[in-house]
Chains A and B, each alone.
Chain A
Amino acid sequence: MIGVFICECGGNIGDVVDVNEVKESIQKIPDVKTVRIERFLCSKLGLKRIIDSVKKLDLDRVVVASCSPHMHEETFRETIAEAGLNPYLLVHTNIREQDSWVTKDKRKATEKAIAIITGAVNRARKLQPLKETRVEISRDAMVIGGGIAGITAALQLSNSGYHVVLVEKKPSVGGRMAQLSKVFPTLDCAPCILSPRMADVDKSSNITLLTNSEVKKVSGGPGNFEVRVRVNPRGVDPEKCLRCGKCEKVCEVEVPDEYEAGLYTRKAIHLPFAQAVPAAYAIDFENCTRCGKCMEVCPAQAININEEEREETYRVGAIIVTTGYDLLDRGEIERYKVNESTITSLQLERLIENELAAGKVLKNKQGKRIKEVAFILCVGSRNPHKGVPYCSKVCCPYSVKEAILLKKTLPYLRVWIYYTDMRMYGRGYEELYRQAREMNINFIHGKPAEVTADPQTGKLQLIAEDIDTGQIIKNSPDLVVLCPAIIPSGDLHDLAGRLNIAIGEDGFIAEKHPKLSPVSTMREGIYAAGTALGPKDIRESVVDARSTAAKVIEFLGEGYKDISPIKAQLVGECHGAGECVKVCPYNAITLNETTGKAEINILACNGCGACIPACPYHALQLAHYTKEQIMEEVKGLLSVPSEDVKIVGFFGDSTAYPAADAAGVARLNYPPNLLIVRVPSTALLDTDTLIETLNMGADGIMLCENGDTKEGEITEQRVKETQTKLEEMGLEKERIFYQPLAIPAYKSLPYMVETYLSKIKKIGKTQTKTATLTKK
């Protein structure tokens, strides 16, 4: 007795799919006792209706057709458990992210929904009750990036009793905030309020601080991540270093100082900055000549220029990404950066700290006193043409802050801010803007097209329309401060690939849901905070960081996880062949020394199913994804007759299925010919299953899996073998196709589908070819 519950999702589904027509079709299926349509199935009322239906109608299987199971599968499982049903007697099928959100044609979306739900009903019929097992997980967390967001998250977690590994790529924590002078709107001294936090990180016994370090490889899964960290050599032992500076004096290498944003220089051996944590010198080995002079003069013998890099592996339950931002240095900014008198806002922060704070008057490189400063906002921002399409948010408040600092210290300065819009969005920011106007800082509504330096005199010039008065204004300031677009830190893209998390269209980390699941990534157990998620100010980074700490604590919980029953299990006689042991990507199967029979470790088992086809005696099955259950689903999926060619997509649940979801969230469109079957991994499917799928009416099969994994390799191999078999049977090998698909590549999904679809369209429907498909 199957109950089918269709969600309209407040129009997200209902406006595209004709749910009444779907209900009529599904009602006709034998064993379907009831089909209910709800506007919001996941609401309290909707869930109650499910419970009532199960009880009243004595349902023993439930199908929910709504959003992605990645959203609410747990919720619905708990709901039917409340009604007295085993929670694994549920099929949560996806008609939103993988249908209504990606199909333009309403007719086709409705037909697709019918096919999907028919498949789900078929699957439900074959489900068996299953139980979870409780297992221990790691209660440690890793924070990648030691700026204000990373520091805050690490401290919050360590104060709550959790052990944190904080990985920072530079020789000191502190990030961008350490480079700032004063922060808005309070005008507090940035290093002063940051230093105590940095010191706390150093002191905390619950934090393992790894500086000069980078994450190289991540394996395992949520609750049990195995992270390989490369610790680059510092060349100086922080325990011994006295910070006397003798080494620095004898070092002959001088390079631009990145802490000073390139305004000043440093030596190869240097103290990153005054408040650095660890409070020790470090050697920049990229520029160090290894002359050894520093080693000779160090009174504490703290230096070792031959220090080598080392690798350390950590096992953590959750990861927080706080890798921060960079400033855009190409595109539009090239029209404004003309000589050393056109600087970026970050360079101005350093100038303020080094010159103004030291009581000096601002002078240019020629030693002439600076009397007039012009800020240019939106350099590279809001510019899809030659920059980034988004607004960098903090430049309006920080430029006002910088202008106020300049004017306060040197009242004779004439300060101009050229803006397109003044976006003073936060608490206290509008008041800061008023303060600036009261100090006679000139605001010009109009953007200069470029900054020119006269080739003969070197004088800077900007020309802009003052839109408010309609006059053209020409200005020759002594210093021009550019506010460049804020972009994600350069390493984010690679790191995201290693962590297998999605990057949004704008290059920053994609959040699970921008309103309701901020700071969570698409992957369980991995969170993000601060400017890795987009431009924001310090307060927001701190709020993000605190949220991620709370999410991590919730996730790690008491240190155990109730393990899903979706694991490999022995159902036949084990003959000790050992093929399963060889193929398992997680080393989860061993042969018992005494009995010689296979034993499966359910904690290590990832439920991928790679072992299933490997067993020559067919003694294994994957609970909840047996061959029968999968074939029944496919049969239902292909049951709706159609002129169009049909492609069955087996999508691995670790990356390919979430990638398809991400494409839905982004509202990308692709042809409805693709019918997706969710499998733990495509390595589960044997050749028979694939050929049977063609038998049942599929014209093409796409297997999508994470290409960088063993599951992917296994799939690739199996597809090749199946293609050989197809050719032997007189069928086109194009009918089965392996498509590596990791979450960050979701944007390419429509292209992949359309490309494969046109191939299949060319060779036509399978049934019209020789009907000599034989089952082995």
Chain B
Amino acid sequence: MSEFALFLGCTIPVRCLGYEASTRRIAEELGIKLVDLNFSCCGYPLKHVDVVTARSMAAANLALAESKGLNILTICSACSGTLTDAKFNLENDPSAEKVKKELEKQGISYKGGIWVKHFVRYLYEDYGVDRIKEHVKVPLKNLRIAIHHGCHYLRPSEIYDEFDDPEHPKSVREIVEALGATVVDYAGELDCCGGGTIAFNQKLGAALAKKKLDNVKRAGADAIVLFCPFCAIMYDGHQRFIEEQFKSGPYNIPVLFLPQLMGLAFGIDPSELGFEYNAVDVQPLLEKIGERK
């Protein structure tokens, strides 16, 4: 049985409990053992302040997992970006000397013995779409899904070993199609959710998210599927705010985390998938696939 350290980051355990719950549930279903370590913030929010400190914090988290001999799976794309970037930087960039010095000062050493991947990348690259398909009991035949990849899952492609094409990604598409759903193409598919901006300018960040909601609505999708807490906060948590702020919509577009969608396809009861924490009502969606809450 494969065992990994689960990196949740700061946001999910507080603000996206449905994401955490559904992830743990489907991991159980797929036979993937997730171990909880006392990780700290990955360092992402510190990048504005000092990139070296941020990378050192990320590397220290990597070192913690290395001390337990565990590779890391993360379900937050921002954490995935920060941790992967720290590892890449240490292995390839001469400027990493500064990071190594900071780590040394605190008696921490990361030897590069473990890797970190976004959970979704792991599912596609290592676990395998065919194996996922084997667990599908309720193919989501009627569902039209708009995939929001977000930014840090794919970019910069250099640090992710170019496992998927950042301009024409197919990894998540294959997973969603394996669940039986139809993937809907929409304009601005690679657009950013604005999560990085919203802390500094709420209106600007929300305007970015609005663009996608408009495009998804136009494409006639039943739901947006994503795999990052920031993106969820933008499209799900702020959906009403956007409608009010910009007098747009109404959207009524449920926003699901990929594990939630997978859980539905695996025939797991919705009550185990944390839907009470989704801001936009998912009831119409559940009804569409013949489920009752």
Contact = CB atoms under 8 A, between A and B. Distances in A.
A210 B277 CA distance: 75
For chain B, give the interface size range.
10 to 19
B16 interface: no
Interface stretch (A201-209, A452-460, A706-714): A452-460
B167 A456 contact: no
Contacts of A450: 167
A334 interface: yes
Max count, chain B CB within 10 A of own CB: residue among A335, A450, A455: A455
B168 A455 contact: no
Contacts of B164: none
A335 B167 contact: yes
A454 B219 CA distance: 10
Nearest to A457: B187
Contact of B219 (A334, A335, A452, A456): A456
A335 B187 CA distance: 14
A455 B167 contact: no
A130 to B, nearest CB: 54
Interface in B152-172: 167-168
B218 interface: yes
Contacts of B243: none
Nearest to B167: A335
Contacts of B167: 334-335, 450
B185 interface: yes
In terms of DSSP, what is the predominant structure of the interface of chain A? loop
A334 B187 contact: no
Contacts of A334: 167-168
A335 B165 CA distance: 11
B186 interface: yes
A334 B166 CA distance: 11
Nearest to B218: A456
A450 B188 CA distance: 11
Interface string B167-207: 11000000000000000111111000000000000000000
Contacts, number: 17
A452 B168 contact: no
Interface residues of A, number: 7
Contacts of B186: 455-456
B168 A456 contact: no
A454 B187 contact: yes
B222 to A, nearest CB: 16
B106 to A, nearest CB: 35
Nearest to A459: B187
Interface in A432-457: 450, 452, 454-456
A456 B188 CA distance: 12
B136 to A, nearest CB: 26
Contacts of B219: 455-456
A734 to B, nearest CB: 31
A334 B219 CA distance: 24
Contacts of A456: 186-187, 218-219
Contacts of A452: 187-188
A335 B218 CA distance: 23
Contacts of B185: 455
Nearest to A461: B187
Nearest to A452: B187
A335 B168 CA distance: 9
A334 B165 CA distance: 10
A456 B187 CA distance: 8
A452 B185 CA distance: 12
A454 B184 CA distance: 12
B9 to A, nearest CB: 30
Interface string A448-487: 0010101110000000000000000000000000000000
A455 B189 CA distance: 10
Contacts of B188: 452
A336 to B, nearest CB: 10
Contacts of A454: 187
Interface string A229-253: 0000000000000000000000000
Contacts of B187: 452, 454-456
A454 B167 CA distance: 15
Contacts of B184: 455
Interface string A326-338: 0000000011000
B79 to A, nearest CB: 26
Interface string B191-232: 000000000000000000000000000110000000000000
Nearest to B186: A455
A330 to B, nearest CB: 11
A224 to B, nearest CB: 49
A452 B167 CA distance: 11
Contacts of A455: 184-187, 189, 219
Nearest to A332: B167
A452 B188 CA distance: 8
A34 to B, nearest CB: 49
Nearest to A335: B167
Max count, chain B CB within 10 A of own CB: residue among A334, A335, A456: A456
A454 B187 CA distance: 5
A386 to B, nearest CB: 10
Contacts of B218: 456
Nearest to B184: A455
A456 B168 CA distance: 17
Interface string A546-587: 000000000000000000000000000000000000000000
A450 B186 CA distance: 16
B279 to A, nearest CB: 27
A233 B189 CA distance: 50
Nearest to A453: B187
Interface string B216-260: 001100000000000000000000000000000000000000000
Interface of B: 167-168, 184-189, 218-219
The 6 closest A-B pairs by CB, nearest first: A455-B185, A454-B187, A335-B167, A455-B186, A456-B219, A334-B167
17 contacts: A334-B167, A334-B168, A335-B167, A450-B167, A452-B187, A452-B188, A454-B187, A455-B184, A455-B185, A455-B186, A455-B187, A455-B189, A455-B219, A456-B186, A456-B187, A456-B218, A456-B219
Given A334-B168, A450-B167, A455-B186, 10 more contacts: A334-B167, A452-B187, A452-B188, A454-B187, A455-B185, A455-B189, A455-B219, A456-B187, A456-B218, A456-B219
